[in-house]
Chain A
């Protein structure tokens, strides 16, 4: 088995071993489930370090024949052969490392989940396989295949282990993302039907190279290309989510168990950004120009809308959910700028927000677990009882508002830098959102940590927060104990990563450089 297959499918071993563990043996399940996320983490870090030392990632490509859809000897030999193909470049590697890191941390944080732990971990690992596969796929069909694995896994994770309105959240996740996927499938089918291949590199070649274009089984007119790109962008807009399509995100953020939200906000939303960069700019660079303005406008709308609504929320999970909407807008802004800084900013922002959102939801999970509520109005003065927790929460807030020296700043700064270059007026409007971000995040966090203590946490059994998760229900809520080692360690790792990325963005920029250069070439300089 080659390296990438091993990387993607290594959590499968955990799933198989878990099947033999007794349902009641919670300790063993937790241990095994967490251990199963370690091999992909080690492999991903290994690849990352090797790539940093000049290893050429193309050597990891692998391909096996999978299915021959049609025998058409009158076309080229490879027509309608779908291979099992994995292959990564700097861009995918960043996301794979992000996935692997957050996968392990989320598994550690899953201590909070108490019911049906065995099934939970099996699906969590399946989710990780799906996410790793999405980024490692070198072909459209396999990209889609892994994407749908995440869809099913998320549906079950949200619907079974979520909060009170979990099934509603699961269905709205399923429908919005299902529509996005269906649209994507149509685009994929058109591309495969017209070109006879699903491989990214071959597709790019066929769509751009005038000589290779002659090999197209049916030519793609420029109008058809616009429609395809439009469909592609709309499909990913469902998954990002862009503003009118964002309702599901709020429900999922609020209802899903916190470790799942760590992965969802941290990685799954980024699949859309990844898709827009890889397929949107990668396959249709010329047509992308026509959409860039609209994407930038949509990004600014996302930033402002999310930030303004986050201001009005009285519930920490809601604040964070709307802040996710706002921060994904920054990704769109970077893409809409369509220059080197913009694209780099979009990727930086994706990774940074992945880390920050994971940290926030890790802490929210602890909060819901200890105090039984995440309603800001009911919380206050936690700093006295939980100093360590409050410290981390404050760091998360500072990262969220984009404090220089932390990861969030790099992404936002670079993305806006890109947009100021091409569309300064729009960028100025969007930058307002960053000010709102400072207001909503600081207000929410400071209320919780340093505000007046509004309830006595010593006897919180009378607290009936509207958003208690099923996980927290089964937990006897005693006193507000501070972070314990098993929670502090993942939080520390995340903070460390946020600081490292913030101080030394070259860590991300290094592997990206070659990818972005290819894209800029595609865009014509």
Chain B
């Protein structure tokens, strides 16, 4: 019991801030008169996330610590990914502030603090050093996400999305827990560091391989990678736009955090049989490579046929998960670095795109591609911003997306032997993605305006768009900024517990 009091709780400052903000907002929401607008709550939540972001940034130079018997670790990895999670969360909360569905935005209060709880789960995942905290925190994220998906309580599509999400997510959770139970059974401990050390001595490659596959299935649900991506388009389409933006950025980042924490710590040291007996993770590399390739191909090809903006962005996000998974499959020295850069770029370009889509959905009530037609005529700046985000998503130079993709490419070919096939698949699918991203550009700039001019962008959305555009351009033109932050973490040398 003594430990609890002597633990260095200040290391959890960002988490405390988010938790406190969520609880305070919850109480305020309860106390507020019914007819008052809940918009300030969302602003408050965004402010909380920004505050936590600052707290995290302040802690960057601190030495790695772990408290509570290694269950909570604050190493370079945790700090780096918390920066992305908090930036993504704060930007998504700006979208919540301006959320205005047809049936009225009665539940905006819930929206704000549920998103904070989800964010808290994601942050805890980044810091977990133990299977139990890892599981509990990722579940905090997913359960909150189910609620976020269903917040338009009177809209059938939203209900359907939530239900699909719960069922799929529940199955994934069960499978992942099953996999974890094997790991626990083989080692008798839940601490990641102890597991890694124990597994170096055990020789149970088949049992461990089974655990690996079960965990991989569970995680790939969370990442929405092939073959467990089916739920994503429906959920993305049905959920409110800010929630979709949150899922595509924060949940995806959390998924990759989980992937790295679990697989790299546990399986990198475990012995294996077969092709590469040095490590189970390396021997499973072909499986991950195939999944990454399939995810890139299916995500990009199916996106070609989408008419709904949200579905299109859903498939695009599946495709981006594929690129990221390819970066993971490379297992080069640049792996964590390149994933971090990519996810950071992805936060800016994807939330930027969603912010503008949110405005269009709010205004026109539909999310068909035609809604973009002729946007350039009425709102040239807005169209230019969306154009920028789309070019970045397509990986065109001068934007963050290019720098991120270039680094993934380098990671793929720097190993010996290089993953040339995967690099080629990434190159070709990128060109396929040009078709649908440029198709949106065609809508924006070429088509005659079909609808009444949109109203001005409300404050929250315009803040999000401006921040995202600046971020996208800054990483694109001065990537040194992002790499200098990354350099602070020294290639995550303190990653292994």
Residues of A within 8 A of B (CB): 65-71, 119, 141, 144-146, 148-149, 151-152, 155-156, 159-160, 167, 170-171, 174-175, 178-179, 181-183, 185-186, 189-190, 192-194, 217-218
Contact = CB atoms under 8 A, between A and B. Distances in A.
Interface stretch (B127-135, B162-170, B435-443): B435-443
Give the size range of B's interface with the partner: 35 or more
8 contacts: A71-B491, A146-B397, A148-B396, A155-B438, A156-B445, A175-B431, A182-B427, A189-B412
A259 B403 CA distance: 32
Interface in B415-463: 416, 418, 420, 423-424, 427-428, 430-431, 434-435, 438, 441-442, 445-446
A218 B487 contact: no
Contacts of A148: 396-398, 402
Given A174-B434, A186-B423, A160 B412 contact: no
Given A68-B480, A179-B428, A189-B423, A171 B410 contact: no
Contacts of A171: 435, 438
Contact of A67 (B414, B416, B423, B479): B479
Given A67-B479, A145-B398, A182-B430, A174 B409 contact: no
Contact of A141 (B391, B406, B413, B418): B406
Most B Cβ at <10 Å: residue of A70, A148, A217 = A70
A189 B410 contact: yes
B414 A193 contact: yes
B399 to A, nearest CB: 10
Contacts of A192: 410
Contacts of A68: 480, 483, 487
A149 B399 CA distance: 11
B442 A186 contact: no
A-B interface, 3 closest residue pairs, ranked by CB to CB distance from nearest: A182-B427, A189-B409, A193-B414
B434 A70 contact: no
Contacts of A183: 427
B442 to A, nearest CB: 6
A145 B441 CA distance: 20
Interface of B: 333-334, 337, 391, 396-398, 402-403, 406-407, 409-414, 416, 418, 420, 423-424, 427-428, 430-431, 434-435, 438, 441-442, 445-446, 478-480, 483, 487, 490-491
Nearest to B414: A193
A186 B398 contact: no
A131 B26 CA distance: 56
A73 to B, nearest CB: 11
Given A182-B427, A193-B410, 20 more contacts: A66-B478, A67-B403, A68-B483, A68-B487, A70-B337, A71-B490, A71-B491, A141-B406, A149-B398, A151-B396, A152-B396, A160-B446, A167-B446, A175-B431, A178-B434, A185-B406, A186-B409, A186-B420, A189-B412, A218-B414
B43 to A, nearest CB: 32
A67 B402 CA distance: 13
Contact of B391 (A67, A152, A160, A181): A152
A144 B413 contact: no
Contact of B428 (A144, A152, A170, A182): A182
A145 B405 CA distance: 13
Contacts of B413: 186, 189-190, 193-194
B334 A70 contact: yes
B158 to A, nearest CB: 35
Contacts of A71: 487, 490-491
Contacts of A146: 397
B123 to A, nearest CB: 27
Contacts of B410: 69, 189, 192-193
B431 A178 contact: yes
A146 B423 CA distance: 22
Contacts of B479: 66-67
Contacts of A156: 441, 445
B491 A194 contact: no
B370 to A, nearest CB: 15
Given A174-B434, A185-B406, A160 B414 contact: no
B397 A149 contact: yes
B50 to A, nearest CB: 27
B322 to A, nearest CB: 15
A252 to B, nearest CB: 15
Nearest to B427: A182
A148 B402 CA distance: 10
A5 to B, nearest CB: 14
Contacts of B431: 175, 178-179, 181-182
A175 B480 CA distance: 31
Given A69-B483, A179-B431, A194 B397 contact: no
Nearest to A192: B410
A156 B376 CA distance: 13
Nearest to B429: A182
A186 B397 contact: no
Contacts of B480: 65-68
A141 B420 CA distance: 19
A170 B483 CA distance: 35
Contacts of B428: 179, 182
Contacts of B411: 193
B473 to A, nearest CB: 14
A148 B391 CA distance: 11
B409 A185 contact: yes
A170 B413 CA distance: 32
Given A144-B397, A178-B431, A159 B406 contact: no
Nearest to A145: B397
Nearest to B481: A67
A463 to B, nearest CB: 26
A186 B430 CA distance: 12
B396 A186 contact: no
B246 to A, nearest CB: 30
A160 B374 CA distance: 12
B39 to A, nearest CB: 33
A148 B398 CA distance: 9
Contacts of B412: 189
Contacts of B491: 70-71
A44 to B, nearest CB: 23
Nearest to B333: A70
Contacts of A217: 414
B30 to A, nearest CB: 49
Nearest to A66: B480
A186 B424 contact: yes
Contacts of A141: 406
A251 B133 CA distance: 59
Contacts of A170: 442
Contacts of B406: 141, 185, 189
Contacts of B435: 171, 174-175
B427 A185 contact: yes
A69 B407 contact: yes
Contacts of A179: 428, 431
A218 B416 contact: yes
A159 B483 contact: no
Contacts of B409: 185-186, 189
Task: From A71, A179, A186, name the one whose CB has the most chain B CB atoms within 10 angstroms.
Answer: A186
A189 B430 CA distance: 15
Contact of A194 (B414, B434, B445, B490): B414
Nearest to A123: B445
B433 to A, nearest CB: 10
Contacts of A149: 397-398
B427 A174 contact: no
